[in-house]
């Protein structure tokens, strides 16, 4: 646990604080899980956007990382990180030169595609520059679910087969397999409900794999999964690798998810440090962390942490302000200038709001890590 008093002299507020010991334990837990279950982990760096964390994950056995944007890919390549999978198709003509540079510099770089336009787009880059590109076919396994939420991904087996055949026959593209990610599964709180929904996706994914194998298109890589589904994804025996991201930090959303039947073994390591700047009464205080300090996409509110009484609540009070309400029975009060730790509702977009995070280790802020891949450059 972070000693809040120890933070006072070390940081400005609002700012991010990462408990390095908990971060490392979370990385180790996932690494041990992967080894024990003979499955590869390619963690998603969109959760942290920090090359130093990617290097920690790889040092603990990850085969590479995933990224969600071209800028994230550029930053990770710049930091000599190998085995990068870009999980969103790139189609903007103006980005062709950026992608060309990545393909020239990166080792074991992979992209997903879900349409013929993307095949032609990549072929144009590679043919002009004597390059080859590793390609995975993105398969939509979300829109068959209960909520019918489709994002990227080829929409049916016929599409998937056609794209796979086109990539395999290309002189410039290497057909490596498929990507099948069900983002809508990750935050279904109850284990049984999430597993029942996941099984529908696995049945469809199994049909995709069987059809590919029947056409001599057996995938070398079957990538997908996430923090909330990695355990059941492994039980399905369909994936060769998984893409968990948020497990390293946790957030209020994942605090409510039973990742295993026994609960969630991954502990919170990411917090926003704030300061009490005003007193309303003996139970209500204003801190300097509002809408600009946290992501606001979650159904959950930020969660007061640290040495505050159980039942303490946070509410947004505007761009720069938040309200801390102590429980009525609490004998604890707060002082002007006191440091308050708040757990974000959703870690990924909260990280994206900051340039740096403070690394807490052995009861002190030891260093600052740059969030180099935040934003879109």
pLDDT tens across 230-243, in order? 999 999 999 999 99
Q: Is 276's pLDDT higher than 90?
A: yes
Distance, CA of 307 to chain centre: 28
Nearest to 20 by CA among 41, 62, 58, 48: 48
Q: Quote the percentage of the chain above a pLDDT of 70.
A: 100
Q: What angle do CA 14, 271, 313 make, to 5 degrees?
A: 85
Give per-residue pLDDT as tens, 145-164: 888 888 999 999 999 999 99
Give residue 148's pLDDT: 87
Token pair of 157 as six digits: 């087996």
Greatest CA separation for the chain? 72
Classify residue 140 by burial, with Cβ atoms within 10 Å: 0-12, 13-18, 19+.
buried
Per-residue DSSP letter, 36: H
Task: Name the architecture of domain 4-16+265-365.
Answer: Beta Barrel (2.40)
Q: Is the pLDDT of residue 358 over 90?
A: yes
Domain with CATH 2.40.37.20 in the chain: 4-16+265-365
Segment 38-80, tens digit of pLDDT: 999 999 999 999 999 999 999 999 999 999 999 999 999 999 9
Domain 44-244 carries which CATH code?
3.20.20.10
Residues of the chain with CATH 3.20.20.10: 44-244
Dist. CA 365–CA 283, nearest whole Å: 30
Q: What does DSSP say about strands 241-242 and 339-343: parallel, antiparallel, or unpaired?
A: unpaired
Sheet containing strand 84-86, edge to edge, reads: 40-41, 241-242, 221-224, 173-180, 133-138, 110-113, 84-86, 65-67
Q: What CA–CA distance (Å, rounded) separates 163 from 169? A: 10
Q: How far is the C-alpha of 293 from the C-alpha of 15, rounded, in Å?
A: 8
Q: So what's the pLDDT on residue 247?
A: 98
Tokens 């609490």 belong to residue: 330
Check: CB of residue 183 under 8 Å from CB of residue 151: yes
213, pLDDT greater than 80: yes
| pLDDT of 8 above 80 | no
């Amino acid at each position: 646990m972070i000693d809040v008093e120890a933070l006072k002299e070390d940081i400005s507020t609002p700012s991010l604080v990462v408990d390095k010991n908990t971060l490392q334990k979370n990385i180790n837990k996932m690494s041990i899980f992967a080894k024990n279950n003979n499955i590869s982990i390619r963690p998603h760096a969109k959760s942290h956007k920090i090359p130093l964390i990617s290097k920690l994950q790889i040092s603990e056995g990850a085969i590479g990382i995933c990224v969600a944007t071209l800028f994230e890919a550029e930053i990770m390549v710049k930091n000599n990180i190998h085995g990068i999978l870009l999980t969103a198709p790139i189609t903007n003509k103006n980005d062709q030169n950026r992608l060309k540079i990545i393909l020239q510099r990166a080792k074991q770089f992979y992209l997903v595609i879900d349409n013929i336009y993307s095949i032609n787009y990549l072929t144009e880059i590679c043919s002009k520059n004597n390059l080859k590109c590793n390609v995975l076919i993105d398969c939509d396994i979300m829109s068959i679910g209960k909520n019918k939420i489709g994002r990227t991904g080829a929409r049916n087996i016929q599409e998937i087969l056609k794209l796979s055949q086109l990539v395999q026959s290309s002189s410039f593209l290497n057909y490596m397999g498929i990507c099948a990610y069900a983002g809508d599964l990750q935050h279904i709180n109850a284990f049984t409900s999430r597993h029942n929904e996941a099984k529908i996706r696995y049945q469809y994914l199994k049909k995709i794999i069987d059809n590919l194998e029947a056409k001599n298109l057996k995938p070398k890589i079957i990538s997908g999964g996430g923090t909330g589904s990695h355990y059941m994804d492994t039980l399905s025996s369909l994936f060769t690798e998984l893409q968990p991201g948020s497990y390293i930090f946790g957030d209020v959303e994942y605090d409510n998810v039973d990742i295993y039947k026994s609960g969630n073994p991954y502990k919170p390591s990411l917090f926003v440090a704030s300061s009490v700047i005003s007193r309303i009464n003996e139970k209500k205080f204003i801190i300097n962390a509002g809408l600009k300090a946290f992501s606001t996409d979650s159904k959950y509110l930020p969660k007061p942490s640290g040495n505050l009484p159980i039942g303490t609540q946070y509410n947004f009070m505007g761009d720069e302000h938040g309200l801390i309400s102590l429980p009525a029975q609490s004998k604890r009060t707060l002082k002007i200038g006191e440091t308050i730790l708040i757990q974000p509702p959703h870690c990924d977009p909260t990280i994206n709001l900051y340039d740096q995070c403070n690394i807490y280790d052995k009861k002190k802020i030891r260093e600052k890590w740059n969030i180099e891949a935040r934003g879109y450059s």
